[in-house]
Amino acid sequence: MSNTERHLPIAGERDIVLARQVARSWAQELGFGAIDASRIATAVSELTRNVVRYATGGRGEVTIREVKSPEGRKGLEIEVSDEGPGIEDIELVLRDGYTTGQGMGLGLPGTRRLMDETHIESALGRGTTVTVRKWKA
Amino acid sequence: MLTSAIIKVRDTLIVSVQEDLGDEDALDLQAALTQQLERTPVNGVLIDLSLVHVIDSFLGRTLNDLAVGVRLLGARAVVVGMQPAVAITLVELGLELRRIQTALTVERGLDLLARSTNHRL
What are B39-58's pLDDT values in tens digits?
Answer: 998 999 999 999 999 999 99
Decide which of B95 and B53 is more confident.
B53
Put simply, the answer to whether B89 touches A35 (Cβ < 8 Å) is yes
Domains contained in chain A, number: 1
CB B117 within 8 A of CB B81: no
Picking from A33, A35, A42, the nearest residue to B54 by CB comes out as A42
Bridge partners for A13 per DSSP? none
What residues make up the domain containing A76? 5-135
Put simply, the answer to whether A113 touches B93 (Cβ < 8 Å) is yes
ipTM value for the complex: 0.89
Picking from A14, A39, A107, the nearest residue to B22 by CB comes out as A14
pTM of the predicted model as reported, rounded to 2 decimal places: 0.91
Q: Kindly tell me the burial class for residue A78, based on how many C-beta atoms sit within 10 Å of its own C-beta (0-12, 13-18, 19 or more).
A: buried
What does the DSSP 8-state code read for residue B59?
Answer: H
CB B106 within 8 A of CB A119: no
Put simply, the answer to whether B20 touches A17 (Cβ < 8 Å) is yes
User: Which chain A residues contact residue B22 at CB under 8 A?
Assistant: 13-14, 16-17
Q: Which domains does chain B have, with CATH numbers?
A: 5-120 (3.30.750.24)
Q: Which helix H or strand E contains B80, and what residues bound it?
A: strand B76-80
Put simply, the answer to whether A37 touches B85 (Cβ < 8 Å) is yes
CATH number at residue A25: 3.30.565.10
